[in-house]
A and B are shown apart, each in its own frame.
Chain A
Amino acid sequence: MHIQAENLSIGYGSKNILEHVSFELEENKIYGLLGRNGTGKTSLLSVLAAFRKPKAGRIMVNGEEPFENAAVMETILFVYDSNLEDETEKVKKWLRMNAAFRPNYDHDYADYLCRRFNIPVNKAVKDLSKGLKSAVQVVDGLASRASLTIFDEAYLGMDAPARELFYEEVLKDYMEHPRTIILSTHLISEMAGMIEEVLIINDGTLLLQQDKEQLLERGTTVTGPKEKVLAFTEGKKRLKEQQLGSTMSIMIDAVLSDQEKQQAKAENLELGPVALQELFIHLTEGAEQHAG
């Protein structure tokens, strides 16, 4: 599913949560939407899922605006952390009712997932534990096979083994039935591997959108003797400095050329990658200072 956001602003009244956000999402990729709490990730996804209208600008899904568009809305599924406290239906019935709205729903796959997650399908949804409620929503989200599937912190309450299962199933089903998936998360280190392209929201706007591998190439840790490290990173954007004795480690935001890499090697400097989470923390910190 192709998505185009054009100069999007989202907000209530005079207050804007997001301003002038533009981006393009290609079909059949897994996107990671990252941002600190309260930066407007959920608001952005709400607009995408036709839960609300943008204040200005527009969002186009396959060339059409999703809001009140029946054909588009049935192909978008937004899994968010809803409490499901009022769902008195049994899991089985609840899933079957939702399935009626989704043209590509796979019942066998839903049954399989329920077994994998150990969901008691004859229990009322509201009586499930927090983790199992999340699991039921994940089952619904995957089995619906919606062209755009959004998981907004969908794993809350799941324990580590259940989350692993979730990641595994998302990737497996994504390969068998390619579709556009957006993962909005703060568990960056856990989910980084699944993501193909990263969008970072910060300070009310889109800070960056980049292929994850390319983004990771931007971050390098240079470790070695203090003077050499300082000399090598001179003029480069430094994200973080650490020192132990005469050894220094500096994290930089710069794509190194092959020549620079050779030079580092010659100078006995160790170059290491930076984890997405670490990079995210420093990129969003920097932007805050700018705004501050």
Chain B
Amino acid sequence: MRPTLDESKPIFQQITKMIEDDIVNGELKEGEQAPSSTQLVAYYKINPSTVLKGMNQLVDDQILYKKRGVGMFVADGARGKLLEARRQTFMEEYIGSMLQEAGRLGISTDDIYKMMEEMKRRGER
């Protein structure tokens, strides 16, 4: 979980993002219990209905499922689903805007490949 909320996104979306991040990073494994709304409310000092709105969205997206009287748990296949969705977003947002900017600067796709190789090498060093 991230310790603070920022104002660039509605709060309930930030809540879902935090839980999703934890699942993607493997901090929250499939079948494990997600943070309870009580914990989230106390931690972020926000109205329970806001937390619930975020949680319910995750239930609708089949990332979490409800166990009556116990709490919310990470659904089987949740991580795969999230990875797939993020992959899609990655392509549409990062790659999309990268290509746009590259177009503006006159960078060819070949150049981009080279740049990527270069950055990868630096990262490995």
Partner-B contacts on A (CB < 8 A): 29-30, 164, 167-168, 171-172, 174-175, 193-196, 212-213, 216-217, 268, 272-273, 275
Complex CA–CA separation, A275 to B45 (angstroms): 16
Which residue of B has the minimal Cβ distance to A172? B42
**Residues from chain A with Cβ under 8 Å of B7 in the complex:** 272-273, 275
Query: 1/0 per residue B97-110: CB within 8 Å of A?
Result: 10010000000000
Q: How close is A116's CB to chain B, nearest CB, in angstroms?
A: 13
Chain B positions near chain A (C-beta within 8 angstroms) = 5, 7-12, 37-38, 41-42, 44-50, 53, 97, 100
- Determine the chain A residues whose CB is within 8 A of the CB of B100 once the complex forms: 268
CB distance from B39 to the nearest CB of A (A): 11
A273 close to B50 (CB less than 8 A): no
Name the one of A164, A212, A268, A275 contacting B47, with C-beta atoms under 8 angstroms: A212
B10 and A175 contact, CB distance less than 8 A? no
Q: Please state if B46 and A273 are interface contacts (CB–CB under 8 Å).
A: no
Contact of B38 among A175, A213, A216, A217 (CB under 8 A): A175
How far, in whole Å, are A29 and B44 apart by their CA atoms in the complex? Answer: 18
Partner of A164, one of B37, B45, B50, B53: B45
A-chain residues with CB within 8 Å of residue B9 when the two chains form the complex = 273
Contacts A175-B48, A268-B100, A273-B8 known; list 4 others, CB within 8 Å.
Answer: A29-B49, A212-B47, A213-B50, A273-B7
- Contacts A168-B45, A171-B41, A193-B45 given; indicate if A272 touches B8 (C-beta within 8 A): yes
Q: How far is the CA of A268 from the CA of B96 in the complex (A)?
A: 11
**CB-nearest residue of chain B to A195:** B47
In the complex, the answer to whether B46 meets A194 with C-beta atoms within 8 Å is yes
B95 smallest CB distance to A (angstroms): 14
29 A-B pairs with CB atoms under 8 Å apart are A164-B45, A168-B42, A171-B42, A171-B46, A171-B47, A171-B48, A172-B42, A174-B48, A175-B37, A175-B38, A175-B48, A193-B5, A193-B11, A194-B46, A194-B47, A195-B47, A196-B50, A212-B47, A213-B10, A213-B49, A213-B50, A213-B53, A217-B10, A268-B97, A268-B100, A272-B8, A273-B7, A273-B9, A275-B7
Question: Within the assembled complex, what's the spacing in Å between the Cα atoms of A216 and B47?
Answer: 14
Tell me, in angstroms, the Cα distance from A175 to B12 when the chains sit together: 18
9 nearest A-B residue pairs (beta carbon): A193-B46, A196-B49, A196-B47, A167-B45, A171-B41, A273-B10, A194-B47, A275-B7, A30-B47
